[in-house]
């Protein structure tokens, strides 16, 4: 059975109350529940992690090697700043899908730059919480049988 790590970065623990005009009213535990339901349908295993700390996200990426088959990563603002996370993705050699709730390209110019996109297999942005379900489908298709 394939296993996928869903990794969430800084401030995503506040979903539901954080700028609901941008990120919506759905909480991270609700998103996790949606992912668990989708994983059941897709017949895969998932792990769901959130951290506000860059080093902890890097540790989680390292820890995925040999454990998970792919990673869905919403790195939050670290997307736009973290060469260290980019290097960690390159180092673990697992397929990563970059994910954002909001359409980062329709927002401030500093959000248009992603250090993750060049080392990701693809990017999903702008579909709100449904993006997580889309990313699971995309990863399963990418991994094949």
Question: Which residues are tagged catalytic?
Answer: 23, 100
**CA–CA dist 50, 32 (Å, integer):** 10
Least distance in angstroms from the C-beta of 47 to ligand DQA: 19
Least distance in angstroms from the C-beta of 80 to ligand DQA: 6
State both tokens at 138.
């995309």
Contact call for residue 111 and ligand DQA (CB under 6 A):
yes
Least distance in angstroms from the C-beta of 87 to ligand DQA: 19
**3 state DSSP class of 49:** strand
**CA–CA dist 89, 33 (Å, integer):** 26
Contact call for residue 129 and ligand DQA (CB under 6 A):
no
> Judged by CB under 6 A, which of 28, 61, 101, 138 binds ligand DQA?
101
Beta strand segments in the chain, E: 3-8, 45-50, 70-74, 96-100, 122-125
Give the residues lining the site for ligand DQA (CB under 6 A). Answer: 11, 74, 76-77, 79, 100-102, 104, 111
């Amino acid at each position: 059975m394939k296993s996928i790590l869903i990794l969430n970065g800084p401030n995503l623990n506040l979903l539901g109350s954080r700028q609901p005009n941008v990120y919506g009213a759905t909480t991270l535990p609700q998103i996790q529940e949606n992912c668990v339901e989708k994983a059941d349908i897709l017949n895969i295993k998932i792990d769901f992690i959130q951290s506000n700390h860059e080093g902890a996200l890097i540790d989680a990426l390292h820890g995925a090697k040999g454990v998970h088959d792919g990673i869905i990563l919403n790195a939050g603002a670290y997307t736009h700043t973290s060469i260290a996370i980019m290097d960690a993705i390159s180092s673990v050699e697992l397929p990563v899908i970059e994910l954002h709730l909001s359409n980062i390209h329709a927002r401030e110019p500093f959000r248009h730059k992603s250090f993750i996109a060049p080392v990701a297999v693809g990017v999903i942005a702008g579909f709100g919480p449904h993006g997580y379900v889309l990313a699971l489908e995309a990863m399963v298709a990418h991994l094949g049988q």
